[in-house]
Amino acid sequence: MATAQARPATARGPRLPATLTPHVLQRLAGRVSAAPDAARVTTSAPYTGVPLADLPVSTPADVEDAFARARTAQKTWAATPVAERGKILLRYHDLVLARQEEVLDLMQAENGKTRRDAFLEVVDIGIVSRYYARNAAKYLAPKRRRGAFPLLTHATEVRHPKGVVAVVSPWNYPLSMAASDTIAALAAGNAVLQKPDTQTALTALWSMELMYEAGLPENVWQMVTGRGSSIGGALMDNADYMMFTGSTATGRQIASDAGRRLIGASLELGGKNPMIVLDDADIEKAAAGAVAACFPSAGQLCVSVERLYVADSVRDRFLDAFLARTRKLAIGAAYDYGVDVGSLTTPAQLKTVTEHVDDAVAKGATVLAGGRARPDLGPLFYEPTVLTDVTPDMTLHSHETFGPVVSVYTFQDVDDAVEQANATAYGLNASVWSRDGRRGRAVAARVHAGTVNVNEAFAAAWGSVDAPMGGMGDSGLGRRHGAEGILKYTEPQTIAHQRVQGFTPPSRISPETWAALLTGALKALKALGVR
């Protein structure tokens, strides 16, 4: 069985880039909101397993103190004109692009992904910051609404920031998930208290540092570190809104806690995303698209594909093309653009991927490519893996693997494909391939997922930030991007000014007569087509 190509590495793995000096790492760690005598935690670099960051650990008391500072700062920030907030976001946009080498090195060092995958996060933040900088004023401006009585009722919708938003961001996309949700919350006039995953906290802290360089007032964006079991309660008990990206199990608990407090929550959770290759698909493009869908960031991407459904009539041709491309992928550790697939991020993730594949093989699945860890490259590497003959009794059939593993299935017709694709509790992202764009979009509309890409893996929907992005079913609640991505961080208020006459009858008209007059008015308004 052929395997992915290995890029040679030294026994020690690549050295940290020159940008990541001890002084830089210490400076970033010093931005964590924690007491001077806080306990410390050390993270390791996935490429090598050697120690990387020494971070203070925040306590519930630290969280309380940070919220108090944030509430004071938020009042001034909310009073800052939206146009001024937008200027800060645009300066931040420029700083991220100008200093991208720093954050690319950080993301690779903390996460283990390839440089090309890290660069997509830079692109994402550039798009999001520009979008909300130039569209926030439109979304947040007072809007005239139709009143109860034409001409007599003046109704206006006003938007107020929630207050202090808690953002809990994951390790798999440490810049995108740390900054994109925060950008929208800040644009809406909120302060943000964020808990990034400790493994990738330096990347999040770098992003925050640049926002302050761009002009953000002190304490409007703060960060705490620590386990959710330790400080999660303090975050939930003090937040005015919760933005969470992570596992479905944790998301359910957050939804329950938010309901108890009667605050809002937006939850982007797990996925078991399908890709459908129709019988009229361009096979070479679909094969290339499948590689791009299944293996970015070593498969540690919420919108990546883990289930491939291929029309039976083109299965063999597609598999030949897909496997040829998969086996040519260069896997390894390097702080440049020469590697296609990087490392998994944590030992726990390697354990999950290994157990899922081993369980499937033990129960009869066939490995067409990959299927093994690569300790010769580094402690957490696993080859891009393609499986067939996967059955429902295998763990990876229905459960999210979150690694470079995909299962291939076939279908007879479009109805069969849609039924199989929708046979999951999840509903985050999907992909459909067809030479006929109209046919592809028609099939896409039948797939139960918050975003569906036609002739693309996931970047088309993700990068279309004017449109909402989020999950259905066990993949979450709420949306990021677009109008919903910023308005969820606001409280809508209706101000209605009644002129001349309201719903109560004038003193000289009896209630019966007034009821008859209002009934006639309602009928007239309907006849006139008034909405």
110, 121, 268, 383: the catalytic one is 268
Show the beta-strand stretches assigned E in 318-419. 330-331, 366-369, 385-388, 405-411
Catalytic-residue membership of 302: yes
Three-state secondary structure call for residue 467: coil
Token pair 């006639």 is found at: 520
Q: What are phi and psi of 325, to 5 degrees?
A: -70, -40
- Characterise 497 by phi-psi region: left (phi > 0), alpha (psi -120 to 50), beta (else): beta
Residue 157 annotated among the catalytic residues of the structure: no
DSSP track, 77-99: HHHS-HHHHHHHHHHHHHHHHHT
Instruction: Single out the catalytic residue among 110, 302, 306, 400.
Output: 302
Q: Give the Cα separation of 454 and 253 in Å (integer).
A: 34
CB burial of residue 150 (10 Å; 0-12, 13-18, 19+)? exposed
Cα 70 from Cα 355, distance rounded (Å): 43
Measured at the alpha carbon of residue 275, what is the angle toward residues 274 and 278, in degrees to the nearest 5?
135
| Residue pair 182/209 in contact by the 8 Å Cβ criterion | no
Q: Assign 193 to helix, strand or coil.
A: strand
Beta strands 273-277 and 305-311 are parallel
Query: Residues with catalytic annotation?
Result: 268, 302
